[in-house]
Chain A
């Protein structure tokens, strides 16, 4: 998505929000379809479990859509939505943590698959390895990398979602990338 595409999404959000406020339930369906993958990825990044991530994405999106009247437009709708989903995921993580160890710690790969780039094609093993390394980062670094790379949020928007300043979001992102590159060289 180029920057102009990001603008198109924001414009589309704006039109859908207007329709939703007019009581058009189809607009809510479209908002869900438009942002479900981002919501799922953010929840997955925090929870590390697909089933839990689906629950958190659902609960977070419903919470946001039910509270549309509270959306003031200070941030983009997507940033606002993802912040709510992230809070929902953290809340679920805390509830889960009371019953078991962190799922992310449980799922750390012992021996990571060896991969590489051959003939310009990124091998499946390399792809899995990089995502597995992402999961090893501390939460703020992991989310900063995810939100910046997967979702294309600006550092300011990343900060809005993870609850930090723009500068701290940038530092978390660069620390995360540096650590991942270090692990890849091991």
Chain B
């Protein structure tokens, strides 16, 4: 192999990712090439010193994500969301009244839904998804019209 070909492989060699057969070829080249060897030394130092995520980051991310009752749209599963005829106007009124969509935060919906005793939701077991807390979320799916009305009223208060 030429020096440029070796140089392309050095990051994998320095980090121990290179397959054994190629690793032998690179090692032989480095034994006789001062320039490539110096470059390998820099790359090895870089790799050894790569920072790791701070402790607790994964848990922090997972906690932030666990606010919705389903992970992602399920393949091949059609949602059966019973939307009462007054739900959209009520939601629009709610947004206008409060002036910010922040009230749609799923955690608040969950808290209120739990308070209503309609849908026991374990926050530690659920994630938010793109289609959000309002559209098709099980938190609201299972609420009766009466409970949903109470929810809208409470959020709007």
Interface residues, chain A, with chain B CB atoms under 8 Å away: 1-6, 20-25, 27-29, 32-33, 36-37, 39-41, 44, 50, 54, 57-58, 61-62, 65-70, 117, 122, 126-128, 130-131, 134, 145-146, 148-150, 152, 155, 170, 174, 177, 180-181, 184
Contacts and interface: CB of A to CB of B under 8 A. Distances in A.
Contacts of A33: 58
Given A32-B58, A36-B58, A50-B54, 9 more contacts: A3-B19, A20-B72, A23-B77, A58-B60, A62-B61, A66-B128, A126-B45, A150-B47, A174-B7
Contacts of B54: 40, 50, 54
A20 B50 CA distance: 29
A25 B66 contact: yes
Nearest to B22: A3
Nearest to A147: B11
A65 B74 contact: no
A184 B49 contact: no
Contacts of B64: 58, 62
A interface majority secondary structure: helix
Contact of A145 (B46, B57, B61, B62): B46
A167 to B, nearest CB: 12
A5 to B, nearest CB: 7
A57 B46 contact: no
B57 A28 contact: no
